């Protein structure tokens, strides 16, 4: 249990550019690999001028993974540019989401170190049919039984979705190398990650932390100066605000992000934050807390899954069970 706690502390310290002198690097790398943060760990230590403090074999491994990820991200960016160019020729300006944004905005000779699993684009609902046909002309085919489109020669899935039209401000039109895309405002990008993890994926109830997305939020707050007070004020639902405050406490706890003092005032928020950190650092003795959270989330999902329930209760139960049994990259 203590080894897991030490590995998490050392990984976070490395992401902040301060490697721990007594770290168990085998455990740190295992956790970095699981949370998809290995390239970010290398680039953070390199930017801080601290990579030389690591053992030689650790430096070599991190450099190798970082290099492989760089090549993959270069291919992903080329794939993204090709798709955007094809859509632009049809008069469609896609809205970029999540990892596609830093890929598109990065300078020509550089790519972000973030590991990106797929490319997320959104178009207006009225444009979706034309956009899908446009991508099919490029050779994309839909993935059976899952969201997204793919081609055999690519390294990532491309997911095309309808734009919801929600946001604090209109997206910003960005032109790069003859391509046109829309970029969501920074508050919308931050809220998207928080809602996806804590509410859609159930991390708020299940007591889990997506450390990669938390790191994304920390980097976003550093570079874009997110107005957390305005973001909190925009949420009228108490449950959503509790989830936001819980994530902000995690941001402060792990990455030292400056957050509004009022985030920590409610006892429920402080308890949820403690529970998430405790189960992340003590997975064995924290298992009952996580089990209780999983049962709560599963019940909540079952009671609100009207669209899924139409497929049958057995299918719905199978989906919930699959979610509960697959920790993925969470801690």
| Residue 167 reports pLDDT greater than 90 | no
Task: Identify whether residues 101 and 165 lie together within a single domain.
Answer: yes
Predicted confidence at residue 166, as pLDDT, reads: 62
What is the pLDDT confidence band of residue 82, given thresholds at 50, 70 and 90? very high
* 174: three-class secondary structure by DSSP: strand
Task: Identify whether residues 149 and 195 lie together within a single domain.
Answer: no
| Residue 10 reports pLDDT greater than 90 | yes
Rounded distance between C-alpha atoms, residue 301 and residue 106, angstroms: 38
Of 184, 205, 230, the domain-final residue? 184
Task: Identify whether residues 180 and 225 lie together within a single domain.
Answer: no
Predicted confidence at residue 318, as pLDDT, reads: 59
Task: Identify whether residues 173 and 190 lie together within a single domain.
Answer: no
Of 184, 200, 226, the domain-final residue? 184
Rounded distance between C-alpha atoms, residue 81 and residue 3, angstroms: 43
What is the pLDDT confidence band of residue 60, given thresholds at 50, 70 and 90? very high
Whole-Å CA distances, 302 to 204, 237, 306, 315: 16, 20, 8, 11
Task: Identify whether residues 198 and 162 lie together within a single domain.
Answer: no
Percentage of the chain modeled with pLDDT above 70? 89
Task: Identify whether residues 171 and 209 lie together within a single domain.
Answer: no
Give a yes or no: residue 312 inside a domain: yes
> Between 238 and 304, whose confidence is greater?
238
Are 95 and 166 a contacting pair, CB within 8 Å?
A: no
Q: What number is the average pLDDT over the span 20-33?
A: 94
Range of the domain at 24: 1-54
Task: Identify whether residues 123 and 241 lie together within a single domain.
Answer: no
Give a yes or no: residue 328 inside a domain: yes
Task: Identify whether residues 176 and 310 lie together within a single domain.
Answer: no
Give a yes or no: residue 67 inside a domain: no
Least confident range from 197-211, 259-273, 312-326: namely 312-326
Give a yes or no: residue 63 inside a domain: no
Tally of domains in the chain:
3
| Residue 305 reports pLDDT greater than 70 | no
Q: What number is the average pLDDT over the span 67-95?
A: 97
Task: Identify whether residues 24 and 82 lie together within a single domain.
Answer: no
Of 159, 184, 209, the domain-final residue? 184
């Amino acid at each position: 249990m203590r080894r897991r706690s030490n590995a998490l502390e050392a990984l976070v310290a490395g992401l902040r550019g301060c490697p721990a002198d007594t770290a168990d690097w085998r455990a740190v790398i295992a956790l970095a690999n699981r949370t998809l943060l290995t390239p970010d760990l290398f680039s953070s230590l390199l930017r801080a001028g601290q990579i030389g403090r690591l053992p030689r074999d650790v430096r070599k491994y991190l450099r190798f993974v970082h290099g492989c990820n760089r090549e993959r991200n270069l291919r992903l960016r080329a794939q993204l540019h090709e798709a955007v160019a094809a859509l632009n020729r049809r008069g469609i300006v896609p809205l970029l989401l999540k990892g596609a944004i830093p890929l598109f905005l990065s300078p020509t000779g550089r790519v972000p170190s973030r590991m990106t699993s797929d490319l997320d684009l959104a178009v207006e609902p009225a444009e979706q049919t034309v956009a899908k046909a446009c991508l099919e002309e490029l050779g994309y085919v839909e993935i059976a039984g899952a969201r997204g489109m793919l081609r055999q020669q690519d390294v990532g899935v491309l997911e095309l979705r309808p734009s919801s039209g929600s946001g604090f401000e209109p997206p910003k039109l960005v032109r790069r190398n003859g391509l046109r895309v829309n970029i969501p405002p920074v508050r919308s990008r931050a809220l998207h990650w928080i809602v996806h993890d804590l509410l859609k994926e159930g991390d708020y109830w299940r007591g889990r932390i997506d450390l990669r997305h938390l790191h994304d939020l920390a980097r976003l707050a550093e570079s874009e100066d997110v107005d957390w007070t305005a973001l909190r004020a925009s949420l009228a639902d108490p449950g959503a605000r509790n989830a936001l405050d819980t994530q902000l406490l995690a941001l402060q706890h792990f990455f030292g992000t400056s957050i509004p003092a009022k985030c920590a005032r409610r006892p429920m928020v402080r308890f949820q934050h403690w529970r998430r950190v405790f189960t992340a650092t003590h997975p064995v003795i924290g298992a009952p807390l996580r089990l209780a959270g999983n049962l709560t989330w599963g019940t909540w999902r079952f009671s609100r899954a009207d669209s899924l329930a139409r497929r049958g209760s057995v299918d719905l139960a199978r989906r919930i069970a699959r979610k509960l049994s697959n920790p993925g990259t969470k801690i």
